Amino acid sequence: MDARVPARLLWRDWKGGELSLLVAALIIAVSTVAAIAIFVDRLQQALVVESSAFLAADRVVRGSRPVPQEWEDRARERGLDTARTLTFSSMVFGPERSQLVSVKAVTPGYPLRGSLAVADAPFMPGRDTDRLPEAGEVWLDGRLLPALDVALGGVVEVGNAAFDVTAVVTREPDRGGSFFDLGPRLLMRYADVEATGVVQPGSRLSYALLLRGSDGALEAWRDEIGDDLNPHFEWVDIRTGSDAIGRALARGESFLLLGGLLAVILSGVAVALAAHRYSQRQHDPVAVLKTLGMTPREIQNTYLGSLLLLGTLATTVGLLLGWGLQGLGLIVFADLVPVYLPAPGWRPFLVGGITGFICLLAFALPPLLRLRDVSPLRVIRRDLAPNDASMALAYASGLIGSLVLLVWYADSLVLAGWLILGTFGTVAVLMILAHLLLRTGRIIGMQAGNSWRIALSALQRRRRENSVQIVVFGIAIMLLLILYLLRTALLDEWRNQIPADAPNHFVMNIAPDEVEPITDMLASEASGSDAFYPMMRGRIVAVNGEPTRDAEGDERSRLGRERNLSWTWDLPAGNRIVEGEWWEPDETEALISLGADYARDIGLAVGDRLEFDIVDRRVEARIASLRSVDWDSMRPNFFILATPSMMADLPATWLTSFRLEADEKQFLTRLLRRFPTVTVIEIDEVMAQVQRIVARVTLAVEVVLSLVVMAGALVLIASIQSSMDERMREFGLLRALGAGRRRILGALVIEFAALGLFAGVLAAVGAEVTVWILQEQIFQLPGRLHPGLWLGGPLIGVLLIGTIGTISTFKVVRTPPAIVLRETG
């Protein structure tokens, strides 16, 4: 066979517009997927950098004893970068005054992620530095300078050693929002600790080994160390390291993943529909070609070759377009969330390309391969279609293709399996419902007017095709609704999490007589100040009469660790009782309420009797309730709450929070001058970091949503197009028989609006159920109903399908019937 024949056939089909829908579907499939992949890649790079900074490393091993040197050696052998930190509390002496500080000693290389920032004077904006204090030097937290009454260049003493103060440290990446490490910071060299002589057995020490490297090497190292980590060490990654960020990240990633999956499915459906239509329209030409002597194999190779050629073209264009699209997304949403993202790597392009070809092979190839089996007898007997076996092959390959893509994307057989099962289950249910709906349509149509009768009988006549179409429309609208609802839920969640005016500073250790003057000072000079909470440090020493420490005084578990306690009559906002009961006002029994996660962690339950050591006094109390605590709220939260009567005669200090803008930080100097014993914790840097991350994830969510909307619109168009030939013929005939344009147009509008209505109803039901499940199962958000959806879904269906459908078929009305009939034969 002459190779020019297939080339000419392809070229002619291309020029005749036969291929445009298929090519458009492929291009959009590749470009959406590539755009999402490129975007997610860039975002992930940014997030890795940003969020790892919270740990100052990729992973951390933390414990109360030194991490064995051998572990560090093995990490280095694996090519991991390492650094060590040691954190402990100690007194620091200035020339006149002294202060309890939190010392952090670090080895060269720290921090492995993120950076330190320093300033030359307290409460001045810091600048990034890659240096560390030299041997014999320390860097101090800004508030220590007024507290110790030293200036840069001065000398302070820690234990037996004296150090030069050479810088003010304004940011430390792994400072976090932790309440366990409260004192003002003193940063020094790890090697200098020995000389101070302050590290004694029994001191409260926190050792950490910081690790940086590829995920593979990190996990391999962890596997090698294995159970030796327990019980003395803790393995920390960013997800366990910071609640707020970890959750935002995990949800954001789930969403992007889901968005990518939906884009793939939608694009796949669009490609399949387009390919199906193209194949259908090729049956007659193929039959003719076969009578002219083209063998089945030649037919197969012709279409395979054409498809590969088109695939390569569409993929190339799609990748370029995808790259442009994600760039456009960044520009469009730039006002919403101004962020910088690093340049993409090569991987997303590969992902997009492979997706294109899998789409091609799984969705476009099978309908075209069926052409191989078209009987040449079709030239004399039109009704002959390829047999069902090749049809089954087409479905099977589509199914396998989606599964491969989904598993590859989700990297999880389970998730992919559920998604496929869910989709097909939904399709089955929807098919039945669609049938029922169409039947109802007929009954209503009995007493209907003219256009209505045409429309409803058209709906009836193509009942099978129409149920398929309703399901396709329904699924497309449903997926879009799902994504939209999830996006809205996530964005709401994130916005609530860190309101723009959230407090970003905490003051602790406020003596009872300082509460009033500080309230006044905050009221006049700061904004958004919160209530005052009483606070006390305490330790659980016995559970149900059994001591939590053994004879040597070694901590048996986290149970005996010192904790912050607070007390109140009212359940704090953002807390919810999950077990037991909150106490009545004026309760006289000593009762406590624990954070539910905390209680589960250390193995305590409602009814347990605890004995506390609070400022060397023994207090007994019964656990009355467990609370879920919203740790993301950035407000003061406590693991342990007690009845005020139980704490009545204990010497409490108070805690409050307030907000300072970046240019108001001088206020801290005035505050600390006047109240030198209070402790100020600045979390503005941390919050800014969280906000940056959330902004990035938000951006991602918006971009992905708009890309998936595009894929969805394509499915709608492809689906309407694929039913066009049939409709053209019918309405052409009706017009030839004397039906007026307006009546035909009316019928078309009604028919598509009805399809849209049915699809919208099904979509609303499906979306409601799915979103509920997804929220509860994957996003860990409380599920809730969306009444707006019940109106919105059908409305969207009617408007969308009605409009796209009518516009696409407008040709039927405008073209003279003779031409319609001639072209559709």
Which positions lie near another protein, rule CB under 8 A? 1-2, 4-5, 8-9, 12-13, 15-16, 18, 284-285, 287-298, 375-377, 379-381, 822-823
Q: Is the dihedral of CA 169, 170, 175, 181 positive or negative?
A: positive
Each residue of 711-744: b (16+ CB within 10 Å) or e? bbbbbbbbbbbbbbeebbbbbbebbeeebeeebb
Taking the least distance from each CB to another protein, the nearer of 13 and 632 is 13
Taking the least distance from each CB to another protein, the nearer of 102 and 306 is 306
| Distances in whole angstroms, Cα of residue 498 to Cα of each of 633, 704, 751 | 7, 23, 48
SS3 of residue 186 by DSSP: strand
The CA-CA-CA angle for residues 632, 638, 644, to 5°, reads: 145
Taking the least distance from each CB to another protein, the nearer of 1 and 121 is 1
Taking the least distance from each CB to another protein, the nearer of 375 and 519 is 375
SS3 of residue 682 by DSSP: strand
Taking the least distance from each CB to another protein, the nearer of 620 and 823 is 823
Smallest CA-to-CA distance from 218 within 58, 413, 355 is with 58
What is the three-state SS of 151-172? CCCCEEEECCEEEEEEEEEEEC
Taking the least distance from each CB to another protein, the nearer of 45 and 301 is 301
Minimum distance from residue 4 beta carbon to another protein (Å): 6
Taking the least distance from each CB to another protein, the nearer of 379 and 795 is 379
Token reading at 360: 């091609």
Taking the least distance from each CB to another protein, the nearer of 112 and 289 is 289
β-bridge partners, 655: 533
| Distances in whole angstroms, Cα of residue 321 to Cα of each of 20, 32, 316, 591 | 16, 9, 9, 64
Minimum distance from residue 395 beta carbon to another protein (Å): 24
Taking the least distance from each CB to another protein, the nearer of 248 and 289 is 289
Q: Are strands 137-141 and 161-171 parallel, antiparallel or unpaired?
A: parallel
The CA-CA-CA angle for residues 429, 435, 439, to 5°, reads: 145
Minimum distance from residue 306 beta carbon to another protein (Å): 13
Minimum distance from residue 365 beta carbon to another protein (Å): 20
Minimum distance from residue 9 beta carbon to another protein (Å): 7
Minimum distance from residue 696 beta carbon to another protein (Å): 49
Taking the least distance from each CB to another protein, the nearer of 16 and 231 is 16
Taking the least distance from each CB to another protein, the nearer of 4 and 346 is 4
Burial category of 825 from C-beta neighbours within 10 Å (exposed 0-12, middle 13-18, buried 19 and up): exposed
Taking the least distance from each CB to another protein, the nearer of 149 and 284 is 284
CA–CA separation, 504 vs 690, rounded Å?
A: 12
Taking the least distance from each CB to another protein, the nearer of 550 and 823 is 823
Cis peptide before 231 (omega within 30 of 0): yes
Amino acid at 464: R
Contact 245, 498 (CB under 8 A): no
Smallest CA-to-CA distance from 277 within 15, 19, 636, 651 is with 19
Minimum distance from residue 825 beta carbon to another protein (Å): 8
SS3 of residue 294 by DSSP: coil
CA–CA separation, 260 vs 268, rounded Å?
A: 12
Taking the least distance from each CB to another protein, the nearer of 227 and 388 is 388
CA–CA separation, 806 vs 756, rounded Å?
A: 11
3-state helix, strand, coil in the chain (%, to 5): 60, 15, 25
| Distances in whole angstroms, Cα of residue 154 to Cα of each of 162, 297, 541, 632 | 10, 89, 42, 40
CA–CA separation, 109 vs 237, rounded Å?
A: 19
Taking the least distance from each CB to another protein, the nearer of 390 and 706 is 390
Minimum distance from residue 12 beta carbon to another protein (Å): 4
Burial category of 771 from C-beta neighbours within 10 Å (exposed 0-12, middle 13-18, buried 19 and up): buried
Minimum distance from residue 814 beta carbon to another protein (Å): 18
Minimum distance from residue 462 beta carbon to another protein (Å): 21
Minimum distance from residue 731 beta carbon to another protein (Å): 19
CA–CA separation, 10 vs 303, rounded Å?
A: 9
User: How crowded is the C-beta side of 542, counted as CA atoms within 13 Å?
Assistant: 10
Taking the least distance from each CB to another protein, the nearer of 361 and 379 is 379
Minimum distance from residue 721 beta carbon to another protein (Å): 18
Minimum distance from residue 772 beta carbon to another protein (Å): 46
The residue with tokens 């960044």 is 330
CA–CA separation, 335 vs 333, rounded Å?
A: 5
Minimum distance from residue 288 beta carbon to another protein (Å): 5
User: How crowded is the C-beta side of 650, counted as CA atoms within 13 Å?
Assistant: 25
Minimum distance from residue 486 beta carbon to another protein (Å): 45
Taking the least distance from each CB to another protein, the nearer of 117 and 294 is 294
Taking the least distance from each CB to another protein, the nearer of 381 and 546 is 381
How far from the centroid of its chain's Cα atoms is residue 617's Cα? 47
Minimum distance from residue 7 beta carbon to another protein (Å): 10
Q: Are strands 546-547 and 161-171 parallel, antiparallel or unpaired?
A: unpaired
Smallest CA-to-CA distance from 699 within 410, 324, 328 is with 328
> Running DSSP on this structure, what letter comes out for residue 18?
T
CA–CA separation, 601 vs 559, rounded Å?
A: 9
Minimum distance from residue 357 beta carbon to another protein (Å): 26
Minimum distance from residue 379 beta carbon to another protein (Å): 5
